[in-house]
Chains A and B, each alone.
Chain A
Amino acid sequence: MATGTGADEFTFERSGSKLNWDDHYKPVLKYVFLAIFLSWILLPVYYTGVNSLKGPGQIFKTALGIPFLTFQPLPTGDLLPILLGQAPLVPPGSGGSFTGLSAWRTMWEAFPFVEYLLATTIVSVGTAGLATVAAVFSAYAFARLDFPAKTPLFILSVMGFTFPIVLLAIPIFVLMQQLSLLNTYLGMILAFTAFTLPYNIWLLRGFFEDLPANLEESARVDGCTQIGAFFRVILPLSRPAIASVFLLAFLLAWHNYLMAFILGSDPLHTTLAPAILQLRGTFFVKNLHYIMAGTFLSMFVPILMYMYLQTHLVEGLSSGGGVKG
Chain B
Amino acid sequence: MSAIDQIGRRREGLGGIVDSVLEEYGSVQGLLFLLPTLVLLTGIVFYPMVQNGLLLSLRDYTLNPAAPDPFVGLENYEYWFFGAGQALFLFSIKVTILYELLVVPFDLVVALGAALLMNERFRLPGLGVETRAFWRGLMLAGYASPAIAAGLTWGIMQQAAEYGIVYQFLTIFFDIPASGGIVSNTPWAFWGVVIAKVWRDFGFMYIVFLAGVQSIPSALYEISKVDGANPIQRFRYITLPHLRTVIVTVVMIRTVFTVGKLAIPLATTQGGPVNYTRVLGLVIYDVGFGEWALGRAAALGMMFAVSIIPLILLWVKTETEDY
Contact = CB atoms under 8 A, between A and B. Distances in A.
Nearest to A319: B211
Given A44-B154, A137-B33, A147-B27, A251 B284 contact: no
Interface stretch (A70-78, A100-108, A234-242, A254-262): A254-262
Contact of B22 (A34, A134, A227, A258): A227
Contact of A314 (B117, B210, B281, B298): B210
A193 B44 CA distance: 9
B183 to A, nearest CB: 12
Interface string A49-64: 0010000000111011
A299 B145 contact: yes
A317 B312 contact: no
A157 B37 contact: yes
Contacts of B136: 310
A159 B257 CA distance: 12
A40 interface: yes
Contacts of A134: 36-37, 40
B49 interface: yes
Interface string B307-323: 01001100110011001
A155 interface: yes
A258 B157 contact: no
Nearest to A144: B30
Interface string A217-228: 000011101111
B294 to A, nearest CB: 6
A147 B56 contact: no
Contact of B145 (A33, A137, A303): A303
Interface in B280-323: 281, 284-285, 288-289, 294, 297-298, 301-302, 304-305, 308, 311-312, 315-316, 319-320, 323
Interface string B146-177: 11111011101100011111000000000000
Interface in B250-293: 253, 256-257, 259-263, 266-267, 281, 284-285, 288-289
Nearest to A163: B312
Given A44-B154, A160-B45, A167-B284, A138 B140 contact: no
Contact of A162 (B135, B164, B245, B315): B315
A171 interface: yes
Interface stretch (A5-13, A83-91, A111-119, A273-281): A273-281
Contacts of B165: 47, 63-64
A21 B230 contact: yes
Given A140-B33, A164-B260, A166-B285, A158 B149 contact: no
Contact of B301 (A51, A156, A159, A167): A167
B289 A261 contact: yes
Contact of B49 (A42, A168, A298): A168
Contact of A37 (B27, B43, B114, B316): B114
B130 to A, nearest CB: 13
A155 B316 contact: yes
B208 interface: yes
Q: Which of B140, B152, B230 has the most CB of A within 10 A?
A: B152
A313 interface: yes
B227 to A, nearest CB: 12
A169 B288 contact: yes
Contacts, number: 313
B52 interface: yes
B31 interface: yes
A311 B6 CA distance: 42
A174 B210 CA distance: 42
Given A133-B36, A166-B281, A306-B137, A172 B147 contact: no
Interface in A19-46: 21-22, 26, 30-31, 33-34, 37-38, 40-45
Given A134-B40, A145-B33, A169 B146 contact: no
Nearest to A48: B153
Contact of A167 (B7, B29, B245, B304): B304
B285 A137 contact: no
A146 interface: yes
B246 interface: yes
Contacts of B163: 51, 59-60, 63, 288
A165 interface: yes
Contacts of A314: 207, 210-211
B253 A162 contact: yes
Interface of B: 6-9, 19, 22-23, 26-31, 33-34, 36-38, 40-41, 43-45, 47-49, 51-53, 56, 61, 113-114, 117, 120, 122, 133-150, 152-154, 156-157, 161-165, 199, 207-208, 210-212, 230-231, 245-246, 249, 253, 256-257, 259-263, 266-267, 281, 284-285, 288-289, 294, 297-298, 301-302, 304-305, 308, 311-312, 315-316, 319-320, 323
Given A190-B40, A197-B40, A223-B6, 5 more contacts: A22-B231, A257-B263, A262-B289, A277-B148, A302-B144
21 contacts: A41-B138, A44-B154, A60-B162, A134-B40, A141-B34, A147-B28, A147-B31, A166-B304, A169-B289, A171-B298, A172-B52, A173-B52, A173-B294, A193-B44, A197-B40, A226-B26, A272-B146, A295-B152, A306-B140, A322-B246, A322-B319
Which 9 residue pairs are nearest across A and B when measured between Cβ atoms?
A: A164-B260, A318-B211, A147-B30, A171-B48, A171-B52, A145-B30, A141-B33, A194-B44, A63-B163
